[in-house]
A and B are shown apart, each in its own frame.
Chain A
Amino acid sequence: MKLDTSGFETTMPMIGFGSNNDMLDGFCSVPSFDLPRTTDFDGFQKEAVQMVKPAKGTTTLAFIFKEGVMVAADSRASMGGYISSQSVKKIIEINPYMLGTMAGGAADCQFWHRNLGIKCRLHQLANKRRISVSGASKLLANMLYSYRGMGLSVGTMIAGWDETGPGLYYVDNEGGRLKGDRFSVGSGSPYAYGVLDSGYKFDMSVEEALELARRSIYHATFRDGASGGVASVYHVGPNGWKKLSGDDVGELHYHYYPVAPATAEHVMEEAAE
């Protein structure tokens, strides 16, 4: 049977000749970054890779509305099937008027957001005015682009308020940068999008937006095993960000779906049977 190997031709960089063809077996879509000079890609530094395995399980979201930007996230970090923490800060305070969200590798996000905060402060000191959201997100995107292909895992949203009003950008480890007014990132994002998109109106009040953001995160944590913990919601207004709520999603569940208490008669009937 003639196998269709056309997929192998296009992006595969030339690593070796002739006998190295056994590398191609088992590869379907080849990513376009440098590969190590070895015949066993899966096993290369496998222990190290497994150790650094990023916590991709998460739900974060942000949206722009009339009163500014609403940013919300869960707080669970998982390493494979083990929940390593239920209290991770996924909304990172870059400076008093800009927030970043964390999705992907926890250390990568923490470190690069801290680094971005330093760069923003230096910009502010050098230029005598605050950096724009557009500028900050570009700094981060360019930094991540230079580490493209090295295994960083960052899926973040930069939200803030600058001279042009509210700003929201999505930046990822590929160096991609998107401007938008509604984003959700992480394994729970499809669920969050469902609730967010159906309830979104530009003219919401801060309370309505808060409730929408909190409910979206709650529903994502309900259905996605890799999301959970505490649903935090922040609001970014013209005077900077303010944390509006932090609720344990377990308690939110009973807040949204309270359990009707069983009456005494039912209990006695069951005992009689």
Chain B
Amino acid sequence: MTKQHANWSPYDNNGGTCVAIAGSDYCVIAADTRMSTGYSILSRDYSKIHKLADKAVLSSSGFQADVKALQKVLKSRHLIYQHQHNKQMSCPAMAQLLSNTLYFKRFFPYYAFNVLGGLDAEGKGCVFTYDAVGSYEKVGYSAQGSGSTLIMPFLDNQLKSPSPLLLPAQDSITPLSEAEAVDLVKTVFASATERDIYTGDKLEIMILKADGIKTELIDLRKD
């Protein structure tokens, strides 16, 4: 019998790749700025990085409508937190909030592949990586999105940090300097752009440090 397919899917994939690297006193969050649907490009200038708090920046690829909805929910929850606690949320707190927010839509998920980057209470960089329904893990670096399978093996090769599960415990922070990390991110995106059709146009890099956030915008291949 012929299968009947649904006429309509609530989801779409707008492509793109996000990367974050944690350092000893900084965190680098980067994403390309291409937004596509199928084989068409919708925008060459779409930012996938969103600042949630002074010390927490979210970058998400996937279905950008769901990403926008997710950002709105987190922003309003953060505002409530600030009213109730008279301070900004820390990055680990935001990480758990994001996990719970994603899980509460377990049966109709947000199609968002998130990487949360920021600084923890001691000022060290931290990166949290998520799946679509909220399982999360603190890591030293991560890549999500259409180019993640191209980028992760390279980051593993360059940055492989000891697992946080090892005993005696070893730090999972990258020994790289900030300039080296930014350079690595540029290299990694240049390579991903070559082989992933959904990644390209421009690269937006946000560098989070205790004294503030710096943003860089670099050109990538537009084909």
Interface residue ranges, A against B (CB under 8 Å): 22, 25, 38-40, 42-45, 47-48, 51-52, 75, 79, 82, 84-89, 105-111, 150-152, 229-230, 232, 243-248
Contacts and interface: CB of A to CB of B under 8 A. Distances in A.
A91 B106 CA distance: 22
Given A47-B9, A84-B131, A107 B102 contact: yes
Interface string B129-141: 1011111110100
Nearest to A229: B163
A245 B131 contact: no
Contact of B139 (A45, A87, A248): A87
Given A42-B3, A48-B11, A107-B131, A246 B109 contact: no
A25 to B, nearest CB: 5
A110 B136 contact: yes
B142 to A, nearest CB: 9
B5 A43 contact: yes
B: interface residue count bin: 20 to 34
Contacts of A52: 106, 109, 132-133
B9 A246 contact: no
B139 A48 contact: no
A165 B163 CA distance: 33
A110 B132 contact: no
B146 to A, nearest CB: 13
Label chain A's interface by main secondary structure: mixed
Contacts of A106: 131, 135
Given A51-B111, A87-B139, A111-B103, A43 B6 contact: yes
Interface stretch (B31-39, B164-172, B192-200, B203-211): B164-172
A143 to B, nearest CB: 13
Interface in B92-108: 99-100, 102-103, 106-108
Contact of B107 (A75, A79, A105, A150): A150
Given A38-B6, A43-B5, A107 B103 contact: yes
A167 to B, nearest CB: 25
A45 B8 CA distance: 10
A46 to B, nearest CB: 9
B134 to A, nearest CB: 5
A73 B29 CA distance: 32
A243 to B, nearest CB: 6
B86 interface: no
A87 B3 contact: no
B136 A230 contact: no
Identify whether the interface residues of B are mostly helix, strand, loop, or mixed. Answer: loop
Given A51-B132, A106-B131, A151-B107, A40 B3 contact: yes
A271 B137 CA distance: 49
B16 to A, nearest CB: 16
B4 interface: yes
Contact of A230 (B102, B132, B134, B165): B165
10 contacts: A45-B6, A48-B108, A84-B131, A87-B165, A107-B134, A107-B135, A111-B99, A230-B166, A244-B167, A245-B167
A87 B163 contact: yes
Give the residue among B5, B129, B163 with the most A Cβ atoms within 10 A: B163
Nearest to A22: B1
A89 B135 contact: no
A111 B107 CA distance: 14
A82 B5 contact: no
B76 interface: no
Contacts of A245: 167
A40 B5 contact: yes
> Quick one: which of B1, B131, B139 has the most chain A CB within 10 A?
B131
Contact of B1 (A25, A42, A84, A247): A25
Nearest to B112: A51
A22 B165 CA distance: 51
Contacts of A84: 131
A75 B165 contact: yes
Contacts of A105: 133, 135
Contacts of B165: 75, 87, 89, 229-230, 232, 246
A110 B106 CA distance: 13
B111 to A, nearest CB: 6
A44 B6 contact: yes
A145 to B, nearest CB: 16
B82 interface: no
B215 interface: no
Nearest to A106: B135
Contacts of A243: 167
